[in-house]
A and B are shown apart, each in its own frame.
Chain A
Amino acid sequence: MTLVTIRSDGSSLLEGYRRTVGQRTLTVLERVARRLKGHRIVMVNSTSTGGGVAEILHRLVALLNELGVPTTWEVMPGDARFYGITKTIHNTLHGWPGSLSPEDRDYFHEMNRRAAERLALDGDLVLIHDPQPAAIVAHRRRPHQHWVWRCHIDLSRANPEVWDFLAPEVTRYDAAVFSHVAFVPPLPIPAYLVPPSIDPLSDKNRELSEEEEDALLDPLDLPSRKPWITQVSRFDRIKDPSGVVDAFLLARKREDAHLVLAGGTADDDPEGAEVLNEVQTKVAGRSDVSVLSLPPDAHLTINAMQRRSTVVLQKSLREGFALTVSEALWKRRAVVASAVGGIPLQVLHERTGLLVRSIEGCAFQITRLLRSGELRRRLGQAGREHVREHFLHPREACDYLAVFARLIERGI
């Protein structure tokens, strides 16, 4: 099946958001949605599980439907060869070395052509997420449809050869949406900035009782008396798990603590197991570091782990947006994160968290936070309010609807 069915327990998402974020935030969203009554939206990406995009789509699609804007979600089918090619595209667009052979390019186009035939792309507005299905647009058939490409990754250091391969496809769209201004390449189509968001109602972010936390964390056998320094991320070199270990070991010389590196791998990331193995080898024999490979549905465990952490890290070398930062801020955690990608939008230095640019800087800020409960509380409280305003699903839904409303009004 290519169509993702959104499971619902029958409860109202809007009602849940109203309780969590307040009616104020929803009023504008509900009003923008009214403008799109009578229009249908189709979302397309390459996986229904694992990774931030799939997580966002699960809720966003349900929310838009509840707002009265019929929305469906199609997943592009792929195979190991295709995912290998799209992983190369992903990595090279992030600036890592690599290239595509002529055969890879042909296969990419062929898989996109097949997807265009197979998927139900009959909405008035089609929102394609990320590079994997980007070339489907070449096969758009219905007139008067509006096609938007949503790029979740950092293109600021994109390999020019690979971007030149993708750019002709992107220019076929009516508009593009990026998470951060630095990611926007020169394009002849309108390019809007829409940061992604987290879901305060999801298992990963909802409030947990102490008993629930205990029940979720006890099986992990983590030390309960030491402060936890935690990074939750896919096992991916871009997330720099090795640098996290180095920073922790430097900080550990000053303050006692325990490092938790927790993550999983996404369906479309063939390198995950290799990176996990590297990290496990690096910390072998250490009792103050726990490396946890979690299944894709371990949302509640991640939630509990973040809530129990004293400091949450996101020491990425490159980032699209790093939603784990907003997740931690929403839970009032003190965050130390690299000043890359979309992180500085979430972490306002010394206001909602601490930004770092090196392993030493990361170690310094970890130590500082371990020593000051007052600093942790101040940053955590401000971080939660910042996320409430800017990085929750209702705001992102509102931005998409406004982009669509603009395209329709201007007849683009």
Chain B
Amino acid sequence: MPEPFELHGVVHLVRPIGYRAHDLESLRVGIAGASAQTLFYHAYQPQLRYSAVTDLPPDDFSAWVNGVVQDRETAERLSFAVQHRAGSCAELRDALVQVLLSVPEKARLQRAAPDEGDFVFLEMDSVAVETGRYASDSVELMQHLAEVEPVVIFYHLVEQPWLDPERPSLIHWVEKGGDRRLAEWLRLSLMSGLPLEEGRRRLMRRWRQSRLGRSVAEATASPEHERREAGRRAVAGLVRRITQSEQSDDPGHDS
């Protein structure tokens, strides 16, 4: 494996850039001239902002066009452009601008927000912080990813690869260590657009299942009493998980 990888968290400082859109045309102009940090904040940061909800609200652009301008069709198409996860800032910008350009110019000016309903363009300033967690191999990495706060996952799997694609990312590190399958899963989870906690759950499930075969193969070489003990531990773990799941289904239980 390469050098241990240090996991980082991030605090997003958010500030207005001083530009407001009042109609679809000024939205197009704003998107065409927006920085990568601005586009990223409005398109993808909601994934972190609403990381605990099960039905992720749409990106900020579509939400405004749908809820304030009330142009449902354009909102749907903007949502698709964002969800489709254009791989880079330039691609996303182009995709969004194309959707807006497909609305005739006159209609772009007519489809406007009511008073005080302007879309305010914001910029995200990321203050990265060390978590003090290092992974020296894939197993250790996945242990960390199971425990860290959502922002760490968001930073490494969504934000950093998108905003700074030239810099070696966590996924590159996993690839370099030879675990191509895990690298691919991480890449897919990045592109899923799922709420972060749900994305984490799916990633962990996949990882655990992939480890099952290896654990069984290793266990067959162990002596009988060790296998029996491992079986007991597995059953106890299963009971614990079922109990926790039942408790979290109970509306009165605060998990």
A385 and B52 contact, CB distance less than 8 A: yes
Give Cα A348 to B52, complex, Å: 13
Write the nearest CB–CB distance from B79 to chain A, whole angstroms. 17
In Å, the complex CA distance between A182 and B14 comes to: 13
Docked Cα-Cα span, A403 to B50, in Å, equals 22
Interface residues of A in 246-262 (CB under 8 A from B): none
Min distance, Cβ B175 to any Cβ of chain A, angstroms: 27
Q: Does B221 contact A (CB under 8 A)?
A: no
Flag if A406 contacts B127 (CB, 8 Å). yes
Interface presence of B101 (CB below 8 A): no
A27 sits at the interface (CB 8 A): yes
Decide if B16 touches A398 in the complex (CB within 8 Å). no
CB within 8 Å of A: which B1-46 residues: 9-11, 13-16, 18
Q: Give the CA-CA distance A102 to B160 in the complex, in Å.
A: 53
On whether the beta carbons of A182 and B120 are closer than 8 Å, the reply is: yes
Question: Quick check: is B230 within 8 A (CB to CB) of the other chain?
Answer: no
Q: Which residues of A contact B15 (CB under 8 A)?
A: 190-193
Chain B 134-165 per-residue mask, 1 if CB under 8 angstroms from chain A, else 0: 00000000000001111100000000000000
| Closest Cβ–Cβ distance, residue A24 to chain B (whole Å) | 4
Tell me if B247 is interfacial: C-beta within 8 Å of chain A.
no
Decide yes or no whether A293 CB sits under 8 A from chain B.
no
Instruction: Note all chain B residues with C-beta closer than 8 A to A402.
Output: 11, 13, 127
Give bound CA distance, A35 to B127, whole Å: 11
Q: Per-residue 0/1 for A383-396: is the Cβ within 8 Å of any B Cβ (1 yes, 0 no)? A: 01110111000000
**B97 close to chain A: CB less than 8 A:** no
How many residues of B sit at the interface, in one of the four size bands? 20 to 34
Candidates A25, A27, A156, A382; contact of B53 at CB < 8 Å: A382
CB within 8 Å for A192 and B13 given contacts A181-B120, A351-B53, A351-B55:
yes
Interchain CB contact under 8 A, A193 and B14? yes
When the two chains form their complex, are residues A406 and B13 in contact, meaning their CB atoms are under 8 A apart?
Answer: yes
- Are A351 and B13 within 8 A (Cβ)? no
Which of A25, A186, A382, A399 contacts B11, CB < 8 Å? A399
Expressed in whole angstroms, the minimum distance between the Cβ of A111 and any Cβ of chain B is: 31
Measured CA separation A385–B251 after assembly (Å): 13
A317 at the B interface (CB under 8 A): no
A31 at the interface (CB under 8 A from B): yes
Q: Within 8 Å of chain B (Cβ to Cβ): is A377?
A: yes
A24 contacts which chain B residues (CB < 8 A)? 147-150
- A184 near B13 with CB under 8 A, answer no
* Interface residue? A28 (CB, 8 A): yes
Please tell me if B75 contacts chain A, counting CB pairs below 8 Å: no
Determine if B244 is an interface residue (Cβ-Cβ < 8 Å). no
Known contacts: A181-B16, A192-B14, A402-B13. The answer to whether A388 contacts B52 by CB under 8 A is yes
Q: Write out the residue numbers on chain A whose beta carbons fall within 8 Å of the beta carbon of B53.
A: 348, 351, 382, 385-386
Q: Tell me which residues from 359 to 401 in chain A have a Cβ below 8 Å from any Cβ of chain B.
A: 377, 381-382, 384-386, 388-390, 398-399
Candidates B49, B57, B120, B127; contact of A32 at CB < 8 Å: B127
Please indicate the chain B residues that have their CB under 8 angstroms from the CB of A381 in the complex. 251
Q: How far is the CA of A377 from the CA of B250 in the complex (A)?
A: 11
Given contact pairs A24-B148, A186-B18, A389-B51, A31 touches B13 in the complex (Cβ within 8 A): no
Q: Answer whether residue A405 sits at the interface, using C-beta atoms and an 8 A cutoff.
A: yes
User: Which residue of chain A has the shortest Cβ distance to B253 in the bound complex?
Assistant: A381
Q: How far is the CA of A304 from the CA of B119 in the complex (A)?
A: 39
- Tell me the minimal C-beta distance from B88 to chain A in angstroms: 26
A389 near B52 with CB under 8 A, answer yes
Which residues of A are found within 8 Å of B10, using beta-carbon distances? 28
Across-interface contacts of A193 in B (CB, < 8 A): 14-16, 122
Residue of A nearest to B197 (CB): A385
- Considering the complex, give the chain A residue whose CB is closest to the CB of B147: A24
B-contact bits for A178-216, CB 8 A (1 contact / 0 none): 000110101000111100000000000000000000000
The residue in chain A whose Cβ has the minimal distance to the Cβ of B14 is A193
Cβ of B125 < 8 Å from any Cβ of A?
Answer: yes
Which residues of chain A are within 8 angstroms of B49 by Cβ–Cβ distance?
390
The reply on B98 being an interface residue by CB < 8 A is no
B129 at the interface (CB under 8 A from A): yes
Using A181-B120, A382-B53 as known contacts, say yes or no to A399 and B13 having CB atoms under 8 A apart.
yes
> Which chain B residue lies CB-closest to A193?
B14
- In the complex the two chains form, is B52's CB within 8 Å of A28's CB? no
A405 to B10, CA, bound (A): 13
Cβ–Cβ contact B16 & A377, under 8 A: no
Q: In the complex, A386→B151 CA distance in Å?
A: 15
B57 adjacent to A191 (CB under 8 Å): no
- B130 CB–A CB distance under 8 Å: yes
Kindly identify, within residues 114 to 129 of chain B, every residue whose CB is under 8 Å from any CB belonging to chain A. 116, 120, 122, 125, 127, 129
Q: Quick one: closest A residue to B11, CB to CB? A: A402
Nearest chain B CB to A179 CB, angstrom units: 12
Can you list 11 pairs linking A and B with CB atoms under 8 Å apart?
Answer: A24-B149, A27-B149, A31-B132, A181-B122, A192-B13, A351-B53, A377-B251, A382-B53, A385-B53, A386-B53, A390-B49
Report A's interface with B, CB cutoff 8 A: 24-25, 27-28, 31-32, 35, 156, 181-182, 184, 186, 190-193, 348, 351, 377, 381-382, 384-386, 388-390, 398-399, 402-403, 405-406
| B residues at A contact (CB < 8 Å) | 9-11, 13-16, 18, 49-53, 55, 57, 116, 120, 122, 125, 127, 129-132, 147-151, 251, 254
Sample of 19 more A-B contacts, CB < 8 Å, known A28-B131, A192-B14, A348-B50: A24-B147, A28-B10, A28-B149, A28-B151, A31-B129, A31-B130, A31-B132, A32-B129, A181-B16, A181-B120, A190-B15, A191-B16, A193-B14, A193-B16, A384-B254, A386-B53, A389-B52, A406-B13, A406-B127
